Amino acid sequence: MTVGSYTGNGSASRSITGVGYVPEYAAVLPAGAQRANHRFAGMTRGFQFDNDTGSTTRVTGLGADGFTIGNSADVNTNGSTYHYITFNEVAGSVRSASYTGDNTTTRNLTGMGFQPDYAMIRANDTGTGRRGQHRPASQADPNSLFYENQAAINTGIKSLLGDGFQVGNNTAVNANGTTYHYLGFKDSP
């Protein structure tokens, strides 16, 4: 994991480097009134955490030593401060992957290599706005959370399993034919 900050310059393409690895995930958190957004490896766009179809001017790519941003106010207004966090896969602690939704009411996604303490999922859907989902181990089964102020749901990330997690048929995590990206985290002392 790497955290850092930068000052926006408004350019159409800017590399944020120095993380020391090819990240599997990058999130940009504006210090001002703009909206936070993120991108998983393999995604076609940068997405907000809430209901969104993505943009090609936010986090535009993940690269050898960081990530690239566009000129969206969410990531690169001239003179504005932005904070970021990136993650890379670490065996036994952080796992990134993707899957295609099948709309089943109970679906186990395994192969993580550990029981996650936290999981996050985001659809790579540029046609239908979908919300991101997350679930800490402290959340009671079968409930998971959206990132914005919404009630917990029982059809999202239903459970954290010994080698992955279980999803329901909520469109935020399992719409038929939609590609989803996820990160699973294990608290490693």
174 and 107 in a common domain: yes
58 and 6 in a common domain: yes
pLDDT at 189: 62
103 and 78 in a common domain: no
Residue 176 CA to residue 9 CA, distance in Å, equals 40
99 and 73 in a common domain: no
pTM: 0.94
pLDDT at 141: 94
83 and 9 in a common domain: yes
User: Would you write out the chain's pLDDT as a tens digit for each of its 189 residues?
Assistant: 999 999 999 999 999 999 999 999 999 999 999 999 999 999 999 999 999 999 999 999 999 999 999 999 999 999 999 999 999 999 999 999 999 999 999 999 999 999 999 999 999 999 999 999 999 999 999 999 999 999 999 999 999 999 999 999 999 999 999 999 999 999 976
Residue 28 CA to residue 154 CA, distance in Å, equals 28
Domain limits at 157? 94-185
